[in-house]
Structure 1
Amino acid sequence: MKNVDNKCFIPRDRNWHPPAYAPGYKTTVARSPRQSPVSMQHPTRSELTGPNFASLRLGPHDNDLLLNYRENAGRDGLPIGERIVMFGRVVDQLGKPVPDTLVEMWQANAGGRYRHKKDQYLAPLDPNFGGVGRCITDAQGWYHFRTVRPGPYPWPNDVNSWRPAHIHVSVMGPAISTRLVTQMYFEGDPLIPRCPIVHTLNDPEAVDTLIGRLDMARSRSMDYLAYRFDIVTRGELQTYFEPGVTL
């Protein structure tokens, strides 16, 4: 651990995260680095400072994917699929809340298709669903999204690879360079242990950090199921993040 300008930095645990080169996950073969990473011994101001999201103005439904796309597209229908709420806290390695940080999410629709021009999956697009949302954590680090449960989808990793249902999540740290990206899977999904991307994680506890847990106490009768997904930014209990810089 180092102390720079009274800020503590915990070195990244390379054994917790998967190797950059994992042949079972075929896209890593082409994009994995060929040289060893360079450690930044003395972070500069650009790594220590960044945007202040406390004053960021969000739309009334930026975190409500049931409503935000149809309003922007001038439609009046609701998305098709199982209605869910995804919520949780963003905390540091000591359990302290991370307030006023930007949390963004994106996902496929209930049929497993993204609203993206390069997504050629045969599942139809939902005219009332855009698949993106954002919110700011409150003083206790809580975030909240209302959406539909995404569907699994095939991808050309091998003869018959399928991604488990998942929601991508981005958490913005104290600077642009410290943005974290991860994803939430759903508790009990049988595709999780079959996923080549999940197989790159050698520690079952690391996989467990990616699982959203069903919370019936937060679910609403005749409306939605709730899944809790807490995000730990650093330390021994940190959530697994895709390769990059950690907070």
Structure 2
Amino acid sequence: MSQPYPFFLPRDRNWQPEAYTPGYKTSIARSPRQALVSLHRGSASERSGPVFDGLEIGKYDNDLLMNFRTEGTVAGLPIGERIIMHGQVIDQFGKPVPNTLVEMWQANAGGRYRHKKDNYLAPLDPNFGGVGRCITDSEGRYRFRTVRPGPYPWPNGINTWRPAHIHVSVMGPSISTRLITQMYFEGDPLIPQCPIVQVLKDDDAVETMIARLDMTHSRPMDCLAYRFDIVVRGALQTYFEE
């Protein structure tokens, strides 16, 4: 285990949405029925974090263009807009969070997940698994290569669609700082129409989940890049899923 993390700033409950928000229908079943319990300091195990030094990361674990391909030719590459997703994980005080696990999962370019319960009409891509992981470097930086996911319909309303998004899990400096969030893409007109986004009370909270086009890290004649920095605790933390 790593050294205990010193202390945390309290979470602003006025910034986070209510757990029970009927406009987002899934929250009706998932929201707690009893009052939340405030843990001021937490246990030593909650204030310290796992060490990932022994975790074996494969050569293509962070490369979704390669980690599920069926053959070693261009025909075996996933279909879709090739992109680089990168950024920096920092803590509530702006310090980099090195050597922590970042995981991501997403739909394919047609908007379908490789999951047995996803019955959307879009076809599966035989060369795309939709999952990746990496360890942040000494400056808290991470990087994935993938395809831009497609939007998809979901039964929250008569004609409700999820914007293109990538799910992200990052452990942070300790067990209690684990963050699960979603990354949206700058300029997507579906973002303000999404019922999940609409439950947020503050526009700044929405902005923490939007990746920005980053031409400085794009690869000419290959792929565009999007930067998505993640704050794991404190007043400026990236909005997370309850």
**TM bracket, shorter-chain basis:** over 0.9
Q: Does 1:60 align with 2:56?
A: no
1:179 maps to 178
Residue pairs, 1:23-172, within 5 angstroms? 23-70=22-69, 74-76=70-72, 77-172=76-171
Q: Is the 8 A contact 2:78 2:147 kept in 1?
A: yes
1:10 maps to 9
User: By how many angstroms is 1:69 displaced?
Assistant: 1.1
Cα distance 1:33–1:130, how it changes in 2: closer, same or farther (>3 A)? same
Report how many residues are paired. Answer: 236
Between the aligned partners of 1:40 and 1:164, the Cα distance in structure 2 is: 34
AA at the equivalent of 2:186 = E
Cα distance 1:179–1:235, how it changes in 2: closer, same or farther (>3 A)? closer
Between the aligned partners of 1:42 and 1:51, the Cα distance in structure 2 is: 18
Cα distance 1:42–1:204, how it changes in 2: closer, same or farther (>3 A)? closer
Q: Is the 8 A contact 2:92 2:232 kept in 1?
A: yes
Residue pairs, 1:225-236, within 5 angstroms? 225-236=224-235
3-state secondary structure, aligned to 2:132: strand
3-state secondary structure, aligned to 2:103: strand
Please, what TM-score do these two structures have when normalized by structure 1?
0.92
Between the aligned partners of 2:34 and 2:98, the Cα distance in structure 1 is: 36
Q: Is the 8 A contact 1:54 1:101 kept in 2?
A: no
Please, what TM-score do these two structures have when normalized by structure 2?
0.94
User: By how many angstroms is 1:221 displaced?
Assistant: 1.2
AA at the equivalent of 2:23 = G
Between the aligned partners of 2:26 and 2:185, the Cα distance in structure 1 is: 24
AA at the equivalent of 1:183 = Q
Identity score, percent: 73
Structure 1 unmatched runs, 5+:
none
Q: Is the 8 A contact 2:48 2:173 kept in 1?
A: yes
Structure 2 unmatched runs, 5+:
none
Cα distance 1:29–1:6, how it changes in 2: closer, same or farther (>3 A)? closer
3-state secondary structure, aligned to 2:46: helix
Between the aligned partners of 1:43 and 1:176, the Cα distance in structure 2 is: 10
Between the aligned partners of 2:175 and 2:103, the Cα distance in structure 1 is: 14
Q: CA RMSD in A?
A: 1.4
User: By how many angstroms is 1:202 displaced?
Assistant: 1.1
3-state secondary structure, aligned to 2:126: coil
User: By how many angstroms is 1:121 displaced?
Assistant: 0.2
AA at the equivalent of 2:169 = S
Residue pairs, 1:191-202, within 5 angstroms? 191-202=190-201
User: By how many angstroms is 1:176 displaced?
Assistant: 4.2
AA at the equivalent of 2:195 = P
Q: Is the 8 A contact 1:87 1:228 kept in 2?
A: yes
Cα distance 1:20–1:6, how it changes in 2: closer, same or farther (>3 A)? closer
Between the aligned partners of 1:101 and 1:213, the Cα distance in structure 2 is: 23
User: By how many angstroms is 1:106 displaced?
Assistant: 0.2
User: By how many angstroms is 1:242 displaced?
Assistant: 0.9
